[in-house]
A and B are shown apart, each in its own frame.
Chain A
Amino acid sequence: MDPECSQLLPALCAVLADPRQPVADDTCLEKLLDWFKTITKAGSSLLLLQENPCLVELLCHVLKPQDLSSRVLSFSLRLAGVFAAQEDCFQYLQQGELLPRLFGEPGPLGGAAWTAPSVRSGWIQGLRSLAQHPSALHFLADCGAVDTIFSLQGDSSLFVASAAGQLLVHILGLSMQGLAEGHPSLQAGDWPVCAQKIVGHIEESLHSTAVPQITQALNVLTTTFGHCHDPWTQVLWVRLSPLVGSLLEKDPVPAAHSLVDLLLSVARSPGLSSSSCGLWETLAQTLNHLSPTQAGPLALGILKLQDCPQVLRAQAFVILLQPLACVLKATGQDPGPSDVLDSATGDSLTVDALLSSKAACVGLLCRTLAHLELLQPLPQRPCPWPQEPLLGAAVTLLQLCRGSASPASDVGRHLCALLLGCVRVQRAALDFLGTLSQETGPQELVTEVFAVLLEYLRSPDSSPTVLKKAFQATFRWLLSSPKTPGCCDLEPHALLVLRELLPVLQKRLCSPCWEVRDSGLEFLTQMTRHWGGQAGFRHALLASEVPKLTEQLLRDPESYVRASAVTVMGQLSSQGLHVTPVSPEHPGGQQKSLLVELLHILSTDSEGFPRRAVMQVFTQWLRDHHADVAGDTEQFMARVLQVASQDLDWEVRAQGLELALVFLEQTLGQFHSHCPYAVTPPVAAPAGPLAQALQPLCRVRLFEFAFRALFDCDRPVAQKSCDLLLFLRAKTASSSGSLQESRSGPDVASVEAALQRWQAGDQGQPLGDLEPEVVLAVLRSVDLEGLRGALAEGSDHMEKSPQSLLQDMLATVGVLGENEADCY
């Protein structure tokens, strides 16, 4: 701890111990604790306490009966735990009997303060930090803490209850750590006292008829098997599995969700050899006993396991597929040749669950679709994968939701009534359909997929979120459509789809909903990125109104849409897909008009997104040597940098520097082309050509922008500028040219003076034209490394320092007034 903090600490402890002084900001104590954790991690806690006796005094003081705030009490308990985590410090605190007084019966545990959840939480967290060594285990056993933790598992506070469970897991692990290596005994009598007690409690809970108690026990076990893979966990499972298995005999199965979590946690544990413990049988049994809704997550979990008997996998897959099989059957469709779906069809329980209510039906279907979506990309997914029936089911569900399916059976009609207009199922089915595009299907089914997607994209009833997902799924299916070998253009069928799609997109770009217009533009961006160079796509796009409409969206009232339109237009233009009628006065001027339009947006748009999008387009154009930029790059750069440097949005300024960097690389790249054999920078180069190479950079006023940006009030801009100038300096470091006096512009001294003014926050007049030699000299004289180091710290690192925290906490004493609980 630095001396300044040490000096402030006694006063702060006195304030904390004074019940008349409320703690101002509820984050302060948290941050204070963070700081102590950092200190104790780095050094001796004992030394810390010895050097700062005020800390122990604070811990003693909070025990006195007084009206101390529960927050300070909770803090003190946690702090004591942090210190006592080191065994020597634990012993030191034990000498004064401080720990039993804090954590035992005489402490807050028995007092009125215990009613505050924050105190109970502090007590648990304190013990959690403390429980790191054997002495701590003895302490826990002696002071009866374990029993209290048992009862806190059922605490009214979710946080306390959960932390209590976690603490039990930790104590169990810690106490079993001490057990001799090798195979631990099955006899409970051989286990350490704490472990015996905890396992006994778990057994008792599993015997109980109260569901909350069973849930708590199952959760503790789940965390244990999830975190610890030592041999003793296998012994524990052998001992407890009959009890867990007996839960399956109850109807309904209690705490099914937690039971599933436990079984999967055990199955995933590398410490357990599943076959010997009868785990697979238990899993199979559980799959049979649970309701379709409860069994889904278990089935998914089983299918995700790396090695698991094939029979069990098949059973799990059947269960996972059942709801979709029912849908197919109900709508009179053949689930196909797949055995799996065929065997999944007859389950009446699933049909009942599907038809019992709309909520149940929607819930079950959404979960099933989500589970299958997760499973699809996994390497361990079932093989053969029933792609066709699944595609059929997804399409059918989407049709049922739209009312465009007309099932003949009663169940089908009932399903149709339940699902009509259901947005949740639509969203889930579209996501799933998109995932299924990883593989294809028979042509007629793919045609159906596109038909249903177009139906959704066309429908005036589709909500914006549904439309977005429909666009995403359509793109994925277009991507997956089979390609002609050697050609990456869209295949003929996909082209047909595209021709139908473009009028729909056109309509959607005119939607009154900005979300829809934006999703349409994002879709167009994706398509152009992939097929912008392909003849079929180009032809279809140019024949449509889409490019024209996109251009109009540059003036959309919604800034998000304007930004997306800027991105698309930039891309269309790069691909030569932006065509405006060429006026006779400006031959070849169609590209220019877009540049002018984008520059206009950059200098006038009131919102940051479109301006940032313009800068990204410009940077890309410069990289790609876009015709319009390449025509007169210097003029382009000068204009853009001038506008960007004035922008109030720091991200635009930062992107201005990004653009400057690209320009710099390109310009100096040309310069280096004179030395074709140079391998790595820095490259020794004669001053003449270097100065020449820097001339264009000077002409576009890149350096004034960069030098000013070095002291920008927004840290990322300064950082970027620093990087840019360091890059330049590295490139030109060994330039041997002698410095020449500036001919017309400012000299080195005046630039350095300007830099100092900027650093002080003054803006001042523009520098005017700089000469390359002056730039190089200034580059050498500015401490860029030092600046970069300073910028690497957060801009508020001073305010965030421990010293500042202590000062703030002390400063608020007595000035807490109206602003104490005030907020925005």
Chain B
Amino acid sequence: MPEIRVTPLGAGQDVGRSCILVSIAGKNVMLDCGMHMGFNDDRRFPDFSYITRNGRLTDFLDCVIISHFHLDHCGALPYFSEMVGYDGPIYMTHPTQAICPILLEDYRKIAVDKKGEANFFTSQMIKDCMKKVVAVHLHQTVQVDDELEIKAYYAGHVLGAAMFQIKVGSESVVYTGDYNMTPDRHLGAAWIDKCRPNLLITESTYATTIRDSKRCRERDFLKKVHEAVERGGKVLIPVFALGRAQELCILLETFWERMNLKAPIYFSTGLTEKANHYYKLFITWTNQKIRKTFVQRNMFEFKHIKAFDRAFADNPGPMVVFATPGMLHAGQSLQIFRKWAGNEKNMVIMPGYCVQGTVGHKILSGQRKLEMEGRQVLEVKMQVEYMSFSAHADAKGIMQLVGQAEPESVLLVHGEAKKMEFLKQKIEQEFRVNCYMPANGETVTLPTSPSIPVGISLGLLKREMAQGLLPDAKKPRLLHGTLIMKDSNFRLVSSEQALKELGLAEHQLRFTCRVHLHDPRKEQETAMRVYSHLKSVLKDHCVQHLPDGSVTVESILIQAAAHSEDPGTKVLLVSWTYQDEELGSYLTSLLKKGLPQASS
């Protein structure tokens, strides 16, 4: 029985590191290869030993697909390809291919910066890994090999994020990665066609939440920054190199322009230029509004946002600084934070999630006295704000996507078990499909019934048409033909054509049945009686009495013979071809009932 098997190595009932193995029609695909930022040892990567025991990775896996550039989806990729030893193709969209190495490099630098970790991938490994990437366009069907094909769909979420359809023959799986069903300031909403996959693997971060619009959150953000700057405070926004940083930059730039604000905004790592470059390069991935505006002026050529110099942090007066890294766990952002933390006029806005073991996590959980080296205590008097700008589909959005794709089954990943449970029930009720939520390491097996395409010969169809029956999509019709398999294709042809193509001689196969009749007359007379009886009963059929004494009804032949032991009994031999099986059976049952008494 063909089946689809799905095993999450990560993102099964959690939001740690996405890595999902899918086996479909004998092909093995890895969906995402993420890392967990909360660990500092090998636990940050998915446990690949479960696949390496199947022999060489490159032989076992047909491809790896990366949905988007966030590290919880691509962070383990260089480790997997350069240290674990996967040497096969990696697929991602063009923007992801461009941005992914920047974030990986950013993370590598932070990891080495913090602890000087030796057992970590190097810059060269990131580059070698990126060279194995095959970039894909949206809606482009890419043949991984002769049987396996993939296709990317727009997912919103971040620049370049995509959902992927994985297809082998008639079986298919759609993996959403992270997606957003409502357009935001710079990206559009996720979209997929009614592709009716056997399985939809969807993220479920906000499985139970109906989120307020992102606009509200943006307004709130601007209001807070504005207030802090107005009172002469400094605002620190710790960010990762690319992604949310640019989104917030556009927001501030527009606001500064509109409000004619003068306080300087700085970006710490010279990345505005790069972001500018990428957004220009991948303008088709942004939303309608940005595309339109871009024609008039480059939205990323910021007037108010300037490159940060380390000396600026000491300048008097208000300012806004975007600094890396995003969780306040090393480098510049942490240094600025320490400098500004003691002043209650200042503010730090954390625009994303922070893992335990970072200063970001501490201040978000409300800790205000932070122990520093040498038993020093840093008192945090500055205002601390958390603002989630993460762009995931909420419960409504997930349901909407399921409705759009019309899958046969749904599988939830990238969420919390309790919330998944709720959504699972909702999906099962509303769409009447099975919904699964495996934990990491658990395998879900789905039996599939592959539909096998069969071609019908023109000759056969013409013959059907010649019988005067026009095709009607709503009425199924029985069609006789011979199914032949040649060159891995199935075709339905007329039996004559099949014989010709296969170079075979035709054999006649006849079914024979004996019917005993009590009739003391001679065989010829019995045959005559049979003929008369059938002639009277079967008015629509051609009944003939042949010179040799036998009777035919269409292709059915009836002969009468004497019984070897009982002279009062005659044996009727009835034989027919398989085409007339129905009539043959009918005649036998009719004759078994006996012949009518002769009127004479």
A794 to B40, CA, bound (A): 11
Whether a CB of chain A sits under 8 angstroms from the CB of B396 is no
Whether a CB of chain B sits under 8 angstroms from the CB of A190 is no
The 5 closest A-B pairs by CB, nearest first: A159-B441, A27-B38, A713-B335, A811-B365, A794-B115
| Contact residues, A638-667 vs B (CB, 8 A) | 648-651
A630 to B87, CA, bound (A): 44
Interface centre among B71, B338, B362 (most CB of A within 10 A): B362
A304 to B373, CA, bound (A): 53
11 contacts between A and B (CB under 8 A): A24-B356, A27-B38, A257-B55, A363-B59, A367-B59, A370-B59, A793-B373, A799-B361, A805-B357, A808-B361, A819-B388
A30 to B38, CA, bound (A): 10
Q: Give the segment of A270-278, A396-404, A604-612 that binds chain B.
A: A604-612
The reply to whether A716 and B373 contact each other, CB–CB distance below 8 Å, is no
Which of A25, A156, A650, A799 interacts with B113 by CB under 8 Å? A650
Closest chain-A Cβ to B386's Cβ sits at a distance in Å of 6
Closest chain-A Cβ to B313's Cβ sits at a distance in Å of 7
Closest chain-A Cβ to B73's Cβ sits at a distance in Å of 9
Interface centre among A518, A763, A790 (most CB of B within 10 A): A763
The reply to whether B87 and A28 contact each other, CB–CB distance below 8 Å, is no
Chain A residue contacts of B36, Cβ below 8 A: 27
The reply to whether A819 and B362 contact each other, CB–CB distance below 8 Å, is no
Whether a CB of chain A sits under 8 angstroms from the CB of B355 is yes
A50 to B311, CA, bound (A): 54
Given A162-B50, A716-B113, A799-B358, CB of A465 within 8 Å of CB of B353: no
| Contact residues, B234-284 vs A (CB, 8 A) | 240, 243, 268-270, 273-274
Given A715-B116, A790-B373, A824-B72, CB of A157 within 8 Å of CB of B441: yes
The reply to whether B113 and A715 contact each other, CB–CB distance below 8 Å, is yes
Closest chain-A Cβ to B543's Cβ sits at a distance in Å of 54
Chain A residue contacts of B205, Cβ below 8 A: 821-823
Closest chain-B Cβ to A610's Cβ sits at a distance in Å of 12
Chain B residue, CB-CB nearest to A558: B98
Task: Point out residues on A near B: beta carbons under 8 Å.
Answer: 24-28, 30-31, 70, 116-118, 156-160, 162, 257, 297, 358-359, 362-363, 366-367, 370, 423-424, 427, 464-465, 468, 515, 518-519, 560, 606-609, 612, 648-651, 713-716, 719, 761-764, 790, 793-796, 798-800, 803-805, 807-809, 811-812, 815, 818-824
Chain A residue contacts of B419, Cβ below 8 A: 821
Closest chain-B Cβ to A19's Cβ sits at a distance in Å of 12
Tally of contacts, chain A with chain B, CB under 8 A: 206
Whether a CB of chain A sits under 8 angstroms from the CB of B197 is no
Chain A residue, CB-CB nearest to B208: A821
| Contact residues, B75-94 vs A (CB, 8 A) | 87-89
Chain B residue, CB-CB nearest to A519: B131
B300-342 toward A: CB 8 Å interface, digit per residue (1/0)?
0000000000110110000000000000011110110011000
Given A157-B439, A157-B442, A794-B114, CB of A518 within 8 Å of CB of B127: yes
A25 to B15, CA, bound (A): 10
The reply to whether B56 and A30 contact each other, CB–CB distance below 8 Å, is no
Chain B residue contacts of A823, Cβ below 8 A: 15, 70, 72, 205, 352-353, 390
Which of A28, A362, A367 interacts with B356 by CB under 8 Å? A28
A651 to B123, CA, bound (A): 11
Whether a CB of chain A sits under 8 angstroms from the CB of B359 is yes
Closest chain-B Cβ to A290's Cβ sits at a distance in Å of 14
The reply to whether A799 and B359 contact each other, CB–CB distance below 8 Å, is yes
Q: A423-B89, A763-B313, A808-B362 are in contact. List 20 more A-B contacts (CB 8 A).
A: A27-B36, A117-B441, A158-B50, A159-B441, A257-B54, A358-B146, A359-B26, A560-B130, A650-B113, A714-B330, A761-B339, A764-B311, A798-B372, A804-B362, A807-B362, A809-B356, A815-B366, A821-B206, A822-B205, A824-B70
The reply to whether A156 and B442 contact each other, CB–CB distance below 8 Å, is yes
Chain A residue contacts of B59, Cβ below 8 A: 363, 366-367, 370
Task: Point out residues on B near A: beta carbons under 8 Å.
Answer: 7, 14-16, 26, 36, 38-40, 43, 47, 50, 54-56, 58-59, 70-72, 87-89, 101, 105, 109, 112-116, 123, 127, 130-132, 145-147, 205-206, 240, 243, 268-270, 273-274, 310-311, 313-314, 329-332, 334-335, 338-339, 352-353, 355-359, 361-362, 364-367, 371-374, 386, 388, 390, 415-417, 419, 439-443
Closest chain-B Cβ to A792's Cβ sits at a distance in Å of 9
The reply to whether B131 and A518 contact each other, CB–CB distance below 8 Å, is yes
Chain A residue, CB-CB nearest to B329: A796
The reply to whether A821 and B109 contact each other, CB–CB distance below 8 Å, is no
The reply to whether A464 and B131 contact each other, CB–CB distance below 8 Å, is yes
Chain B residue contacts of A297, Cβ below 8 A: 55
A158 to B6, CA, bound (A): 12
A540 to B127, CA, bound (A): 30
The reply to whether A651 and B357 contact each other, CB–CB distance below 8 Å, is no
Given A763-B313, A824-B70, CB of A25 within 8 Å of CB of B355: yes
Chain B residue contacts of A793, Cβ below 8 A: 373
A27 to B365, CA, bound (A): 16
The reply to whether A715 and B273 contact each other, CB–CB distance below 8 Å, is no
A415 to B36, CA, bound (A): 45
Given A158-B50, A812-B365, A824-B390, CB of A713 within 8 Å of CB of B334: yes
Closest chain-B Cβ to A695's Cβ sits at a distance in Å of 28
Chain A residue contacts of B386, Cβ below 8 A: 818-819
The reply to whether A715 and B114 contact each other, CB–CB distance below 8 Å, is yes
The reply to whether B7 and A607 contact each other, CB–CB distance below 8 Å, is no
The reply to whether A795 and B330 contact each other, CB–CB distance below 8 Å, is yes
Chain A residue contacts of B123, Cβ below 8 A: 609, 612
Chain B residue contacts of A118, Cβ below 8 A: 439
A87 to B401, CA, bound (A): 56
Closest chain-B Cβ to A212's Cβ sits at a distance in Å of 12
A606 to B357, CA, bound (A): 31
The reply to whether B145 and A359 contact each other, CB–CB distance below 8 Å, is yes
A162 to B443, CA, bound (A): 13
Chain A residue contacts of B440, Cβ below 8 A: 117, 157, 159
The reply to whether A808 and B356 contact each other, CB–CB distance below 8 Å, is yes
Chain B residue contacts of A515, Cβ below 8 A: 130-131
Chain A residue contacts of B367, Cβ below 8 A: 807-808, 811
The reply to whether A468 and B131 contact each other, CB–CB distance below 8 Å, is yes
A423 to B134, CA, bound (A): 13
Chain B residue contacts of A763, Cβ below 8 A: 310-311, 313-314
Which of B115, B356, B359 interacts with A805 by CB under 8 Å? B356
Closest chain-A Cβ to B245's Cβ sits at a distance in Å of 12
A648 to B358, CA, bound (A): 22
The reply to whether A25 and B38 contact each other, CB–CB distance below 8 Å, is yes
Closest chain-B Cβ to A74's Cβ sits at a distance in Å of 11
The reply to whether B330 and A796 contact each other, CB–CB distance below 8 Å, is yes
A113 to B417, CA, bound (A): 13
Given A799-B362, A818-B388, CB of A158 within 8 Å of CB of B7: yes
The reply to whether A714 and B331 contact each other, CB–CB distance below 8 Å, is yes
